[in-house]
């Protein structure tokens, strides 16, 4: 997929649709979500409460994931897709690339190869651990070395990825999750395989709940990615990275369930973080960063609470261990499907986030509430990459929630300005006055515009254009209402006036066309002469096109 093509396609298709996409029934009902409602049956927290929690923790969380400990992640960018033979696809856009860390000297001490034993985890453990300044890192990887993590397997992701020799270290802050242009058949295949993992075979009690939770997790991840690529989107006209409201509405905002699933995922990860809080004291960060990192973690986690998500409603009592195993295995497959993603940047963030979710599921469902020692054990055996993924995934969701709040502001101001523009347009333009007079009854004519009148006028406008938006974007849910035929008949007199106006407007249009004809002919001739001259003096074809359409030039040079 080509960045410029897909981007310009998106720009043009969404631009025309924005009027329909962002025209709501009520501007306060952004995404058609009641913010005072709970996020889901398993969450005792409302959308509004999550917005407030997020507002409080946002800056601390951001500082945490920018800290030297949490900003690095390790993955194998060249791992073969284990599910199908399609390793040939490449995303060649610059935006798809990942800048790996090559200048090791610039890294903090505990990321240096001599301290980490080449980062392959082989040298972790043994007697040296206690004396190592970075005992925490060794401690986290100890379980892996001892094989304790795989017997029994309580992991929802493949931990081997991090010990793979071919894995590279990546600075996440230098590779932001944003629009890459990755799309088409390749990404569709990935998403559809991910959703297919939700096909639990079991019919036992609780399967439906498990399926529902699985679906919400995946859909929330998908929607969060959609929010990021819309929030950090390349404007091909200016070259700037900026939020794109139309794209957000088309991908996420028009689907209340997708927005709700982002909040659901926020609640899931927040609860996992809340659960490990009492056991974090064992973690030992490097001296230089120890206190800072710990206080940053604390300031985020202390603002979370237990009622944000009730995992017991999901699995406890209703689900046998076979179903839980099935759930774990299927989620592990999702993390493995990330190796089939052709765009490196997307693969990187896909790996980080699926590992983050996998870690939170491990904490939520493998923590035995009666067994304090067991809980401490689970936390002690988390690898550093699981911990890094967990906090970075929480940051992604936190950023999504923040972006949704900003999109809501953009949406409201777009709607307000559209309503204002439409109102003045209707006032000044005769053609629309005619429509207005046929839609609004004679008694309402001089009253200020109401929401209904604006909607009706827009719908009429749409019908006049003859464009069937429903066919183009079946997904959109904020379509203006269908034209309601509420013409008030006020007798033959009004019909006569309307007809007379129609005829006079038509005559005026014909007259104006004749009037403009000579000017249009001259313009056309000048254009032709200009083209012939350019060809004569040897100006390349693409520059001539760019001359007429600046976007063409921009696309060609990319
Ligand atoms: C792991 C992964 C990471 C990616 N990361 C990036 C990235 O960082 N930057 C980037 O620009 N692109 C990224 N992409 C690509 C991006 O997700 C889209 O696939 C791409 O933009 C094409 O979008 P689309 O509109 O064709 O529909 P897609 O997003 O591909 O969706 C396919 C279909 O799934 C359904 N659907 C869409 N969203 C949801 C949802 N939330 N819940 C339920 N159903 C849904 C719709 O019916 C839709 O038609 C990534 C893709 C994958 C698989």
- Neighbouring CB atoms inside 10 A of 207's CB total 17
**C-alpha span between 489 and 15 (Å, rounded):** 37
d(CA 172, CA 278): 28
Task: Indicate whether 301 pLDDT > 70.
Answer: yes
For ligand 1, what atom is nearest to the CA of residue 346? 5
Nearest-atom number in ligand 1 for the CA of 475 is: 47
E runs forming strands in 5-58: 38-40, 43-46
| pLDDT value at 556 more than 70 | no
Q: How far is the CA of 192 from the centre of ligand 1 (A)?
A: 10
Over the Cα atoms of the chain, what is R_g? 29
169, 119 Cβ separation under 8 angstroms: yes
208 has catalytic annotation: no
What 3-state DSSP class applies to 234? strand
Which pLDDT score, from 0 to 100, does residue 320 have?
63
Residue 354 marked as a ligand binder? no
More confident residue, 180 or 1: 180
Q: In the Cβ-directed half-sphere of 97, how many Cα atoms lie within 13 Å? A: 6
Indicate the average pLDDT of the chain.
72
Confidence band of 293 (pLDDT split at 50, 70, 90): confident
Q: Does residue 321 contact residue 204 with C-beta atoms inside 8 Å? A: no
Q: How far is CA 177 from CA 172, 351, 502, in A?
A: 9, 12, 54
Give the atom of ligand 1 at the shortest distance from the alpha carbon of 190. 53
Under DSSP, the state recorded for 460 is: H
Residue 204: the pLDDT is 67
Q: How far is CA 119 from the centre of its chain?
A: 31
Between the CA of 184 and the centroid of ligand 1 the distance, in Å, is: 9
Q: Provide the percentage of residues in the chain whose pLDDT is more than 70.
A: 63
Which candidate, 67, 98, 262, places its Cα nearest to that of 167? 98
pLDDT value, residue 427:
58
Q: Count Cβ atoms below 10 Å from residue 351 Cβ, excluding itself.
A: 28
pLDDT at 296: 87
Which of 89-98, 237-246, 401-410 has the least mean pLDDT? 89-98
Comparing 120-129, 145-154, 160-169, 510-519, the range with the smallest average pLDDT is 120-129
* Per-residue pLDDT at 289 exceeds 90: no
Angle between helices 550-557 and 541-548 (to 10 degrees): 140
Residues within a 6 A CB radius of ligand 1? 177, 179-180, 182-183, 187-188, 190-191, 219, 222-223, 225-226, 229, 251, 258, 338, 341, 345-346, 349-350
More confident residue, 384 or 546: 384
Q: Say what the pLDDT of residue 134 is.
A: 35
Q: How far is CA 340 from CA 60, 76, 495, in A?
A: 34, 12, 65
Instruction: Look at ligand 1, atom 6, and give the residue with the nearest C-alpha.
Output: 346
String of b and e for 116-146 (b: at least 16 CB within 10 Å)?
bbebbbebbbeeebeebebbbbbbbbbbbbe
Question: Phi/psi at 170 (nearest 5 deg)?
Answer: -130, 135
Asked if the model's pLDDT at residue 378 lies above 90, the reply is: no
Instruction: Give 35's pLDDT tier (boundaries 50, 70, 90).
Output: confident
Report which protein residue has its CA nearest ligand 1's atom 5.
Answer: 346
Q: Strand pairing of 168-171 and 241-242?
A: unpaired
Residue 22: pLDDT over 70: no
Q: pLDDT-based confidence at 390, cuts 50/70/90? A: very high
For 46-54, the CB contacts below 8 A with 24+ separation are 47/260, 47/263, 50/263, 50/266, 50/267, 50/308, 50/401, 51/401, 51/405, 53/270, 53/303, 53/304, 53/308, 54/266, 54/398, 54/401, 54/402
Active-site annotation holds for 91 = no
Q: Report whether 496 belongs to an annotated binding site.
A: no
Diameter over CA atoms, the chain: 100
Place of tokens 């962002």: 22
Residue 219 among known ligand-binding residues: yes
With cut-offs at 50, 70 and 90, classify the pLDDT of residue 261.
very high
For a mutational test of ligand 1's pocket, the pick from 1, 97, 225, i.e. the residue with the most ligand atoms closer than 8 A to its C-beta, is: 225
For range 361-389, the mean pLDDT: 85
For position 121, what pLDDT does the model report? 38
How far is Cα 271 from Cα 360, in angstroms, rounded to an integer? 8
Q: Is 66 annotated to bind ligand? A: no
Q: Please identify, by atom number, the ligand 1 atom nearest to the C-alpha of residue 258.
A: 41
Give the distance (Å) from ligand 1 centre to CA of residue 225. Answer: 7
- Mean pLDDT, residues 462-482: 34
**C-alpha distances in Å from residue 148, one per residue of 119, 279, 382, 552:** 20, 19, 11, 58
Listed residue (273, 217, 263, 290) closest to 389, CA to CA: 273
Give the pLDDT band of residue 401 (cuts 50, 70, 90): very high
CA of 534 to the centre of ligand 1 (A): 44
Report whether pLDDT(243) > 80: yes
**What is the DSSP secondary-structure string of 463-515?**
HHHT--HHHH-TT-S-PPPPPP--PPP--HHHHHHHHHHHHHHHHHHHHHHHH
pLDDT in tens, 53-66: 999 999 999 999 99
Is the confidence at residue 353, as pLDDT, over 90?
yes
226: CA distance to ligand 1 center in Å?
6
Confidence of residue 241 (pLDDT cuts 50, 70, 90): very high
Nearest CA to ligand 1 atom 23: 183
Q: Rounded to the nearest whole angstrom, what is the distance from the C-alpha of residue 482 to the centroid of ligand 1?
A: 29
Token pair listed for 318: 């209703």
pLDDT at site 248: 95
Q: What is the pLDDT of residues 480-530, one digit of tens each?
A: 333 334 444 557 787 888 888 888 888 888 888 888 888 889 888 888 888
pTM confidence score: 0.68
Task: Determine if the peptide bond prior to 152 is cis (ω within 30°).
Answer: yes
Asked whether residue 512 is marked as a ligand-binding residue, the answer is: no
Higher pLDDT, 474 or 176: 176
CA-nearest residue for atom 45, ligand 1, is 219
**What's the pLDDT score for residue 287?**
54
pLDDT tens for residues 214-223?
899 999 999 9
- Give the residue whose CA is nearest to atom 9 of ligand 1: 179
Is 90 exceeded by the pLDDT of residue 173?
Answer: yes
Cβ-based neighbour number of residue 521 at 10 Å: 10
pLDDT in tens, 402-450: 999 999 999 888 888 776 776 666 555 443 343 333 333 333 333 322 2
- pLDDT of 98 > 60? The answer is yes
Task: Identify the CA nearest to 384 among candidates 57, 46, 27, 139.
Answer: 139
pLDDT band per the 50, 70, 90 thresholds, residue 233:
very high
> Quick check: helix, strand or coil at residue 75?
strand
Q: Ligand 1 pocket test: which of 191, 336, 349 has the largest number of ligand atoms within 8 Å of its C-beta?
A: 191
pLDDT digits (tens, 9 = 90+) for 530-543: 888 888 887 766 55
Residue nearest to atom 47 of ligand 1 (CA): 475
CA 226 to chain centroid: 3
Tell me the range of 76-85, 273-282, 454-463 where mean pLDDT is highest: 273-282
Q: What's phi and psi for 40, nearest 5 deg?
A: -175, 175
DSSP state of 250: I
């Amino acid at each position: 997929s080509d960045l410029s093509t897909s981007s310009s396609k998106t720009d043009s298709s969404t631009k025309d649709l924005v009027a329909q996409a962002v025209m709501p029934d009520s501007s306060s009902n952004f995404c058609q979500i009641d913010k005072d409602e709970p996020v889901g049956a398993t969450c005792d927290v409302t959308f509004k409460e999550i917005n407030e929690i997020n507002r409080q923790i946002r800056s601390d969380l951001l500082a945490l994931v920018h800290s030297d400990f949490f900003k690095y992640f390790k993955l194998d960018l060249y791992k073969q897709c284990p599910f199908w033979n399609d390793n040939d696809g490449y995303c060649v856009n610059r935006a798809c690339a990942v800048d790996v860390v090559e200048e090791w000297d610039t890294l903090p001490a505990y990321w240096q190869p001599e301290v980490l034993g080449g980062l392959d985890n082989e040298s972790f453990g043994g007697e040296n651990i206690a004396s190592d300044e970075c005992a925490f890192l060794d401690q986290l990887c100890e379980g892996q070395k001892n094989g304790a993590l795989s017997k029994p397997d309580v992991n929802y992701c493949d931990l081997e990825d991090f010990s793979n020799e071919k894995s590279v270290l990546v600075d996440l802050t230098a590779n932001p999750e944003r629009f890459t242009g990755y799309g088409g058949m390749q990404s569709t295949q990935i998403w559809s395989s991910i959703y297919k993992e939700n096909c639990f075979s079991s019919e036992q009690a609780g399967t439906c709940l498990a399926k529902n939770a699985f679906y919400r997790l995946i859909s929330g991840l998908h929607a969060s990615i959609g929010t990021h690529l819309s929030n950090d989107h390349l404007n091909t006209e200016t070259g700037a990275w900026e939020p794109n409201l139309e794209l957000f509405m088309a991908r996420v905002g028009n689907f209340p369930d997708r927005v709700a699933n982002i909040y659901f995922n926020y609640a899931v990860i927040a609860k996992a973080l809340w659960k490990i809080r009492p056991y974090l004291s064992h973690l030992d960060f490097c001296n230089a960063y120890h206190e800072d990192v710990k206080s940053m973690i604390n300031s985020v986690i202390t603002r979370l609470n237990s009622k944000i998500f009730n995992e017991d409603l999901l699995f406890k009592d209703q689900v046998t261990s076979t179903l839980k195993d099935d759930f774990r295995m299927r989620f592990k497959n999702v993390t493995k499907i990330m190796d089939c993603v052709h765009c490196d940047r997307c693969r990187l963030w896909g790996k980080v986030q699926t590992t983050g979710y996998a870690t939170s599921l491990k904490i939520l469902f493998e923590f035995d509430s009666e067994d304090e020692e067991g809980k401490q054990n689970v936390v002690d055996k988390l690898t550093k990459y699981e911990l890094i993924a967990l906090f970075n995934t929480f940051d992604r969701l936190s950023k999504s929630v923040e972006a949704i709040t900003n999109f809501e502001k953009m949406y409201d101001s777009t709607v307000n300005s559209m309503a204002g523009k439409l109102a003045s347009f209707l006032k000044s333009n005769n053609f629309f006055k005619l429509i207005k007079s046929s839609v609004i009854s004679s008694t309402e004519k001089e009253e200020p515009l109401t929401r209904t009148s604006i909607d009706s006028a827009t719908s009429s406008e749409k019908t006049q254009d003859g464009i069937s938006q429903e066919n183009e974007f079946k997904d959109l849910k904020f379509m203006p209402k269908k034209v309601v035929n509420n013409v008030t008949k006020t007798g033959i007199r009004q019909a006569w006036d309307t007809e007379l106006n129609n005829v006079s407007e038509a005559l005026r249009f014909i007259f104006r066309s004749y009037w403009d004809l000579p000017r249009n002919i001259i313009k056309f001739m000048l254009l032709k002469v200009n083209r012939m001259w350019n060809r004569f003096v040897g100006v390349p074809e693409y520059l001539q096109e760019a001359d007429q359409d600046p976007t063409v030039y921009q696309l060609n040079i990319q």
